[in-house]
Structure 1
């Protein structure tokens, strides 16, 4: 059985939104795993955005189709409120994600505060996970708040001595934050693009247009053709009722004749004026 256009669009939308959800879930996992200074609530909202948008728009489409089948008014107001809500929601999430991308200087403070907080609370597992993932030691330098923490038996260079690492964690950690933020930014933008595509290119069985401006169906075309056949034929007739079918052509011909006559009269008058002017000049010369 051949699939309808609506089924194809629905299947593509499900796969598209599922891919965006997986991308957002991966970003949430990375943000939490590497203790990035990105609020978990922002990442969680980005994860929830694709399925929520899909369910909401599909519900509005189904409701519109049911009401249209019953000959009732479509729920255009519900559609406008739904689209407006998700537009604001997507803009807020995209803005919050964009603050963790650039400029790079603004990322230093948040990363430094997060690392310092982890160091003060002796978060061994979280700092060790960051250092092991990016093969680094400390924040700004290999001896800056690195694990193992300095104590009576360990100096500030304990990480360098034990793991033989010379690089600091700031640069790779910041790059990871920007990568996660880009993924969180892509998701709401991609959802917005999908929503616009659904609105501007609806399936053959659903339409976002109002019933007053919807294109006529085949049955309406047939009805229009029937009505046109029943209309009496109209022909051009002159004002005097002579019954001439080519009265329009006659009217144009008359206008052309009048134009040529006016041109001829004007040229004769100009010629006459020129003769009179010459006679006047001759008379003045004779005097």
Structure 2
């Protein structure tokens, strides 16, 4: 099983990047064509960014040590464990609102037609040449419902057929403009659903790791000796050299240490020893012939 860091860096973040690009392109189209979308395109663009930041911070928000016998040190700084689920719940509500608003424009309806007509009438009444011209040039059309229905150039100065005669266009702008609205609403809906699925995947992955029997055995075995679950995971997969190095006990001369502490005879592992020992001193025969015993350390 891949570690949480690997999943975040190589699966989740690329997906969120793609969703952010889709939201950015949709934002540009909505602004360029002045589409009356009920959902805010800027809010849609912020959604994958906020989702990525929340998931990236999950490694520090989630408790990594489940052993109650080893409480965190006073010097350990960690955010409350309830903060990550709260952020996920907030973003899920955010997803739901955006998805609901975007879905209202996917299917053609009288409400959608009225919304587009109201927006076009506003541009025509205000003599907003730039916006009407961008829509007409994008779809190579004239007017809203007919070629003579509120086109640009405006009929009061050039006549109702000025757009058709000047640009030789034969179709209206209603169908193409409505298609733009539906396409971008679908993109916004896709971004919201994609972010929701990413969060769902993260929650399921974390739940699976927390309840994996193998992970629980390793965590209990090395409880308090690892910094986070990624190290436990790496150790279980055979890549935990750093963890293993911390749990291996240093070399200890049991005979010398025990004798020094207890003041007993210094003996080797076969039960043989040079003699009594007092205060860390050992009586050994002198290396010189004919001499007596002497104290040596």
Interval containing the TM-score (normalised by the shorter chain):
0.5 to 0.7
Are residues 127 and 74 of structure 1, via their aligned partners in 2, closer, same or farther at CA, if it must alter by over 3 Å? closer
Q: How does 1:266-277 map to 2 (within 5 A)?
A: none
In the alignment, which residue of structure 2 is the partner of 1:19?
Answer: 18
In the alignment, which residue of structure 2 is the partner of 1:164?
Answer: 168
Q: In 2, Cα distance between the equivalents of 1:183 and 1:189?
A: 10
Are residues 75 and 26 of structure 1, via their aligned partners in 2, closer, same or farther at CA, if it must alter by over 3 Å? same
In the alignment, which residue of structure 2 is the partner of 1:138?
Answer: 143
Match of 1:184 among 184, 188, 192: 188
Range moving further from structure 2, 214-223 or 121-130? 214-223
Confirm or deny: 8 A CA contact 1:6 1:203 kept in the other structure.
no
SS at match of 1:166: coil
Task: Report the Cα offset of residue 222 of structure 1.
Answer: 9.8
Larger Rg, first or second structure (1 or 2)? 1
Q: How does 1:82-161 map to 2 (within 5 A)?
A: 82-152=87-157, 154-161=158-165
* 2:177 is the alignment partner of 1:173: yes
In the alignment, which residue of structure 2 is the partner of 1:277?
Answer: none
RCO higher in structure (CA 8 A, sep ≥6): 1
Task: Report the Cα offset of residue 218 of structure 1.
Answer: 2.6
Q: How does 1:23-42 map to 2 (within 5 A)?
A: 23-39=22-38, 42=40
Q: In 2, Cα distance between the equivalents of 1:34 and 1:218?
A: 58
Task: Report the Cα offset of residue 67 of structure 1.
Answer: 6.4
Confirm or deny: 8 A CA contact 1:60 1:78 kept in the other structure.
no
Q: In 1, Cα distance between the equivalents of 2:176 and 2:109?
A: 13
In the TM superposition, what whole-angstrom CA distance separates every residue of 1:41-74 from its partner, at most 9, and x where no partner exists? 7110010001101112322332324666974599
Q: In 1, Cα distance between the equivalents of 2:222 and 2:151?
A: 80
Task: Report the Cα offset of residue 216 of structure 1.
Answer: 1.7
In the alignment, which residue of structure 2 is the partner of 1:230?
Answer: none
In the TM superposition, what whole-angstrom CA distance separates every residue of 1:79-100 from its partner, at most 9, and x where no partner exists? 3311211111110011111111
Paired residue total: 215
Q: In 2, Cα distance between the equivalents of 1:6 and 1:119?
A: 55
Confirm or deny: 8 A CA contact 2:35 2:181 kept in the other structure.
yes
* Contiguous gaps of at least 5 residues in structure 2: 73-77, 224-297
Match of 2:202 among 191, 198, 218: 198
CA-atom RMSD in angstroms: 3.0
In the TM superposition, what whole-angstrom CA distance separates every residue of 1:177-226 from its partner, at most 9, and x where no partner exists? 0000000000011001011111112399xx5x499x99523364799xxx
Confirm or deny: 8 A CA contact 1:97 1:184 kept in the other structure.
yes
Q: In 1, Cα distance between the equivalents of 2:156 and 2:207?
A: 68
